[in-house]
Structure 1
Amino acid sequence: MGDLEVISYRPEPGEYAWTFGGAAPVRRLTPPVALSVYTEDAFAGRVRSETDLVSTQNITGLNPQTGPFYIEGAEPGDTVAVHFVSIEPARDWAASTTVPLFGALTGTHLTALLHEPLEELVWLWQLDRAARVCRFTARKSVFTADLPMEPMHGTVGVAPAQREVRSSLVPDAFGGNMDTPEMRAGTTCYLGVNVPGALLSLGDGHARQGEGETCGVAVECAMNTVLIVDLVKGAAPTPWPRLENDLYVMSAGSARPLEDAFRIAQHDMVGWVSALCGLDPLDAYQLVTQAVESPLANVCDTNYTSIAKMPKRYLPTAAFGGIHDQLRELATSL
């Protein structure tokens, strides 16, 4: 692939996108290319103290996106490969909160209950970037705990098909707000192209997040991220987001109810394993059933997201022609 061009991009306050689709591209990229970008936190940087309640900040949206980036040569049916080289918090603090009528353990506008909304609270997390820990400080008692820093991106996606414009709070077949902790440095994310140029965006950095993102909000922080973007042409279409790291290939399914998100991920994995192993779908179904791991990504967003993880040691053929290993090697030169 030769020497990579490295493009740096830090959006001005008015240059963020708040949707997938419907936004003009901020840069044109010729793959393979490295991007060094800044992403703002889910609250647009406005929650900076325990008194900065989201409901009082007049935030026009959540999850501001850096992008979209127009990828030269990308056409519907192609696949964009996004390899995360590094994801590093841009500040020494992060914010989390309870949001009234949002989250897995409260009534919502879809799960209508008679109880009062949960109290809106803000937690500021202190980040020790040298020690790689995030400090939790309780709001209603004297208690602290240090959790490992595991930076990730909650949102990565391309423009949806059929000229749809989707909120950056939504995960679906185009990617979006999947909120999976698997979207970390060393991971390659594969996204099916729906429109010319793909229109790739990312944001919603988390210093860490538990599986399921139960309260609906992770340890939200601004990020400095380096990624490599490449284009896969001539392969079978990628119907749902797929991920790969050194040990696993993964499929992400997003829907409601949660059972359907699970089914989408498992169905996609069965089809993928069938192709990689040259197996009849029922043989692949049996193999996946006995080997797959199924962590939750989020059970709080507009759609829920489930992950199917298949160990690569059982697969005789590399996914997408081995592009993950190629991008991993390129990353070492950055």
Structure 2
Amino acid sequence: MGLVEFTPTREQLAYTFGGAAPVMTVQPGAVLKLWSEDAFNHALTSVDDISSEKVDLRFVNPQTGPFYVEGAEPGDTLAIHIADLTPARNWGASATIPFFGGLTSTDRTAFLQESLPDTTWIYHLDTERQTVGFQARFGDFEVALPLEPMLGTIGVAPPGGEVRSSLVPERFGGNMDSPEVKAGTTVYLGVNVEGALFSIGDGHYRQGEGEACGTAVEGAMTSTIIVELIKGGAPAWPRLETDGHWMVVGSSRPMEDSWRIGQVELIRWFGDLFGLHPMDAYQLLTQTALAPVANAVDANYSVVVKAAKSLFPAAQAFDGMHAELRNRAARL
């Protein structure tokens, strides 16, 4: 199947999951090369730009999509394999936004102190060395950090006709901000509406676990993905698979509920993979699982619960879909 390339116009960008008309219909098996705008909607381009003056919070986390997948029905599983992520600009931006982030008071965790300084950092890419450069704003420190592209948002339309902001992570995926959503990863999402209506965006050139200040190195991205449809078997929460791990992403508040969601869903996945009784899976998970925080700043917090494949007997999730998609990606 040929490569489908799509670069949205500004009028075609979506800012919600659900509620937007599809920009295109694609067939299962399609290979898509998609351009996406940065989370600030190209509002911060220099250190002199500050979010309170430049960023319109109605139009952040712009999404490329949604895409209607032919034949997708509620209860099916959409498999999206990320074949490649390439920065579409030679710079990325990060910022501290007033009353937003993990280490400041917010509209939900309210205190009397003033906001932290509204500050923008620009990271310049060195494509030869594959690094992004941090330059201190309140001193002379500089350091080159490895380029590690990822997608902050990937999701489908929610159930029940809901329309959710592209800032929100939930069962449908959305703004999970997990560094695990990178090239080589297959994302499994439960289909809630006819056509699935998936979209992607919020490219990050790199991000630490937790996304502490609320913004990564945000940048426009060119994403090459393979889209497949598995009839039935919809996971309750997003599942991720790499060559080395099985993972589940839970998103809620408080954060311990995100952790619990991921733990419960990985126990259920162990049952699918190995035929384990839930109590045996619970015990096995207790001794093997890792639980990195994906984000501690969004409308819901996201926690990834992951198990290393090397610790377990060989098993095929979704009838070996990840390995098949990896092979297809290698032939692109």
Classify the TM-score, shorter chain. Answer: over 0.9
Give, in whole Å, the separation in 1 of the partners of 2:157 and 2:234: 15
Q: 2:49 aligns with which of 43, 48, 52?
A: 52
- The residue matched to 1:8 in structure 2 has which SS? strand
Q: Deviations over 1:79-120 (max 9, x none)?
A: 000000000101110000000110010000000101111110
Gaps of 5+ in 1: none
- Conserved 8 A contact 1:80-1:192: yes
Give, in whole Å, the separation in 2 of the partners of 1:35 and 1:241: 21
Q: 1:117 aligns with which of 115, 122, 146?
A: 115
- The residue matched to 2:271 in structure 1 has which SS? helix
Residue 24 of structure 1: aligned partner: 21
Q: How does 1:82-97 map to 2 (within 5 A)?
A: 82-97=80-95
> Does 1:305 pair with 2:302?
yes
Q: How does 1:36-47 map to 2 (within 5 A)?
A: 36-47=33-44
Residue 183 of structure 2: aligned partner: 185
- Conserved 8 A contact 1:276-1:315: no
**TM-score normalised by length of structure 1:** 0.97
Give, in whole Å, the separation in 2 of the partners of 1:63 and 1:100: 17
Q: Deviations over 1:35-65 (max 9, x none)?
A: 0010000011121011111221252321000
Aligned-residue offset at 1:5: 2.5
Q: 1:318 aligns with which of 308, 316, 324?
A: 316
Q: Deviations over 1:230-280 (max 9, x none)?
A: 00113x221000000000010000000000000001110001011210010
Distance 1:225 1:198, change over 3 A: same
Give, in whole Å, the separation in 2 of the partners of 1:130 and 1:25: 37
Q: Deviations over 1:4-49 (max 9, x none)?
A: 2311000011110000000000000011110001000001112101
Aligned-residue offset at 1:189: 0.3
Give, in whole Å, the separation in 1 of the partners of 2:122 and 2:300: 27
Q: How does 1:1-334 map to 2 (within 5 A)?
A: 4-57=1-54, 59=56, 60-234=58-232, 236-313=233-310, 314-334=312-332
- Conserved 8 A contact 1:277-1:316: no
Which one-letter code corresponds to 1:238 in the other structure? P
Give, in whole Å, the separation in 2 of the partners of 1:263 and 1:329: 33
- Conserved 8 A contact 2:296-2:302: yes
Gaps of 5+ in 2: none
Which aligned segments of 4 or more residues in structure 1 are displaced greater than 3 angstroms? none
- Conserved 8 A contact 2:239-2:247: yes
Q: Deviations over 1:153-203 (max 9, x none)?
A: 000000001100000000000000000000000000000000000000000
Q: Deviations over 1:117-157 (max 9, x none)?
A: 11100000011122111100000111101111100000000
Which one-letter code corresponds to 1:179 in the other structure? D
- Conserved 8 A contact 1:276-1:316: no
Which one-letter code corresponds to 1:11 in the other structure? P
Give, in whole Å, the separation in 1 of the partners of 2:148 and 2:127: 11
Aligned-residue offset at 1:211: 0.2
Among all aligned residue pairs of Structure 1 and Structure 2, give the percentage whose two residues are the same amino acid: 51
Give, in whole Å, the separation in 2 of the partners of 1:144 and 1:210: 17
Give, in whole Å, the separation in 1 of the partners of 2:259 and 2:322: 25
Which one-letter code corresponds to 2:196 in the other structure? A
Aligned-residue offset at 1:315: 4.3
Which one-letter code corresponds to 2:255 in the other structure? L
Give, in whole Å, the separation in 1 of the partners of 2:17 and 2:88: 24
- Conserved 8 A contact 1:92-1:126: yes
- The residue matched to 1:36 in structure 2 has which SS? strand
Give, in whole Å, the separation in 2 of the partners of 1:315 and 1:46: 49
Give, in whole Å, the separation in 2 of the partners of 1:62 and 1:196: 26
Give, in whole Å, the separation in 1 of the partners of 2:218 and 2:172: 22
Which one-letter code corresponds to 2:235 in the other structure? T
Give, in whole Å, the separation in 2 of the partners of 1:19 and 1:315: 40
Give, in whole Å, the separation in 1 of the partners of 2:48 and 2:260: 41
